[in-house]
Amino acid sequence: MNTTTSRAATATAAVLAVLLLAGCSDTGTPTAGPSTVPSSTVPITPTPSPGDATQTPSQTPSRTPSQSPSQTPSCVDQKAEALTLREQAAQLIMTGIDAEGMTSAERSIARAQKPGGLLLMGSGGSASHTRTAMSTASMTATVKGIRPFIAADQEGGQIQRLKGSGFDRIPAATVQATWSDEKLTARAKIWGSQLKQANVNLDLAPVADVVPASLGNANAPIGALDRGYGSTPGAVSKHVSAFINGMDAAGVMTSVKHFPGLGRVKGNTDFSSGVVDTVTVRGDDDLAPFAAGIRAGSDMVMVSTVTYTKIDPKNRAVFSPTIIRGMLRGDLGYGGVVITDDVGAAAEVASVPAGQRATRFVAAGGDIVITAKASLTSTMVSALVAKAQQDKEFAADLQSSVRRVLALKQNRGLLSCG
């Protein structure tokens, strides 16, 4: 396939509309979904669809370019066109690196692959040390004037990646939940400022999962680690919004997680496989915190690797067009960047070939693939490239994802034109 022609064709549609494209299921069956709409249309609560947990909205996707051929290409279009297909695919990968500074192997990978994001792993260090390390990492991964996302899991409590000198010890979400919205926003602004000073521009938080009081600590990924803001959608929604507002005030991006919720499972997908949610349905009340986070301006939404049997029993959420295109982009009207939970080292997806973890996510409507294993970066990039060269619809999926990523980078000062 002529990739230059493909990029030019899709570029004309990118400014005014996001293409809705077919996804693929775990069984290889293509599934259609609704087209995306601007995030400004996000409702306060998700649209319920009782009685049919696996239904898809009736909205028909449009593939008709709406931009006038004479219209001046946008900055995002110009940058997208300047990238090779492999460079475009790399923008959709977030690679794990040591928070104390890249190892020689990680540095080689970042220099060769130029991933669109870098995720800090390990125990972290002092603010000054992290700043230096991340400056070097950013320069290594920058391609054609496009800087990478530098991300960390900085929630608080047991989940705080950076906690050395220069970083406050952040209380667990269960403690944050006892504060007023104003206090949480003010404190989150301080935490965000500390990240910003260390050249970290993305916090993979807050957690929007609702853990029922009846399950509590039996919920391994959230409840047992004190990561939850409460046991009711209303309480969680308030704190999710307050946290996002504080981080945004500090100039740090956020990613609300883990859609459509980890609150009702028992297993932790990082260490266990076959984790399922047999309760959550499409239009569930517990989706409200995600809608609230989107409305508050979360820059990304992270999708879990759990299988939701009452929504899409054939696909894990990260590979489900029903969940990503149908529920997140359709029901909640979210038109922004969608990111995976880790699909590099997580036990839940170990049985899925690494390249397919990337291609199936993008085909389902997602954008950024996290791999905690830096060594899988090249495999995932190569798989995206090969799939795009063989499949015109997937090539258009990839183009749409790249433009969403570049648009966010432009909005957040990681991309400039002229």
**Chain center to CA of 170:** 23
For 15-42, the pLDDT digits (tens) are 333 333 333 344 443 333 333 333 333 4
> CA–CA separation, 111 vs 140, rounded Å?
5
Q: What is the mean pLDDT of residues 171-193?
A: 98
In the numeric block, which tokens belong to residue 305? 């690797």
Dihedral angle of Cα 243, 37, 148, 123, to the nearest 10 degrees? 40
Rg of the Cα atoms in the chain: 20
Query: Which pTM does this prediction carry?
Result: 0.84
> CA–CA separation, 66 vs 129, rounded Å?
48
For 384-403, the pLDDT digits (tens) are 999 999 999 999 999 999 99
Averaged pLDDT score across all residues of the chain? 86
User: Phi-psi region for residue 100, left (φ > 0), alpha (ψ -120 to 50) or beta?
Assistant: alpha
**Chain center to CA of 135:** 23
Q: What is the mean pLDDT of residues 295-314?
A: 98
In the numeric block, which tokens belong to residue 364? 């389902």
